[in-house]
Chains A and B, each alone.
Chain A
Amino acid sequence: MKRGIARYSYINDHRASLDGKTIATARGEGCFLTTLYRALKIDYPRFFKMDNLSKLGFLASELILEGDERRYSRGEEVAIICFNRGSSLESDTRYQATIQEQEDYFPSPSLFVYTLPNIVAAEIAIRNKIHGETAFYLQEHFDARALFERVSEAFEDAGTRAVLAAWIESFDAREAFMTRVEEYDGEPPLFPFSGDTIVKLLNKSRNG
Chain B
Amino acid sequence: MDELIVNLKKEIIEVLNLEEVKPEDIADDAPLFGEGLGLDSIDALELIVLMEKNYGIKLTDPSQGRELFKSTRVMADYIRENRKK
Q: Is A49 an interface residue (CB 8 A)?
A: yes
Q: Is B45 an interface residue (CB 8 A)?
A: yes
> Which B residues lie within 8 Å of A109 (CB)?
42, 45-46, 49
Given A106-B49, A109-B49, A45–B38 Cβ distance below 8 Å? yes
- For A111, give the chain B residue with the smallest CB separation: B46
User: Given A48, A106, A108, which contacts B18 in the complex, CB threshold below 8 Å?
Assistant: A48
Q: Is the CB of A48 within 8 A of B20?
A: yes
B51-82 contact mask (Cβ, 8 Å, vs A): 1 or 0: 01100000000000000000000000000000
Q: Is B11 an interface residue (CB 8 A)?
A: no
Shortest distance in angstroms between B47's beta carbon and chain A's nearest beta carbon?
Answer: 10
A101-119 contact mask (Cβ, 8 Å, vs B): 1 or 0: 0000011111001000000
Q: Is B43 an interface residue (CB 8 A)?
A: yes
In the complex, which residues 9-35 of chain A have their Cβ closer than 8 Å to any Cβ of chain B? 34
Q: Is B19 an interface residue (CB 8 A)?
A: yes
> Which A residues lie within 8 Å of B52 (CB)?
106
From DSSP, what is the main secondary structure of chain B's interface residues?
helix
**Alpha-carbon separation in the docked complex, A87 to B16 (Å):** 24
User: Given A45, A107, A108, which contacts B20 in the complex, CB threshold below 8 Å?
Assistant: A45
Q: Is the CB of B49 within 8 A of A49?
A: no
> Which B residues lie within 8 Å of A107 (CB)?
49
Q: Is the CB of A45 within 8 A of B42?
A: no
> Which A residues lie within 8 Å of B16 (CB)?
49, 110
**Alpha-carbon separation in the docked complex, A46 to B42 (Å):** 13
- For A98, give the chain B residue with the smallest CB separation: B49
> Which B residues lie within 8 Å of A45 (CB)?
18-20, 38
Shortest distance in angstroms between A110's beta carbon and chain B's nearest beta carbon?
Answer: 5
Shortest distance in angstroms between B25's beta carbon and chain A's nearest beta carbon?
Answer: 12
Shortest distance in angstroms between B38's beta carbon and chain A's nearest beta carbon?
Answer: 6
> Which B residues lie within 8 Å of A110 (CB)?
15-17, 42-43, 45-46
> Which B residues lie within 8 Å of A34 (CB)?
19
In the complex, which residues 28-82 of chain A have their Cβ closer than 8 Å to any Cβ of chain B? 34, 45-46, 48-49
**Alpha-carbon separation in the docked complex, A49 to B54 (Å):** 21
Task: Return 15 A-B CB contacts under 8 Å, by A number.
Answer: A45-B18, A45-B19, A45-B38, A46-B38, A48-B17, A48-B18, A48-B19, A49-B17, A106-B49, A108-B49, A109-B45, A109-B46, A110-B17, A110-B46, A113-B42
Binding site for B on A (CB under 8 A): 34, 45-46, 48-49, 106-110, 113
Known: A108-B46, A110-B43. 17 other contacts (CB 8 A): A34-B19, A45-B18, A45-B19, A45-B38, A48-B17, A48-B18, A48-B19, A106-B49, A107-B49, A109-B42, A109-B45, A109-B49, A110-B15, A110-B16, A110-B45, A110-B46, A113-B42
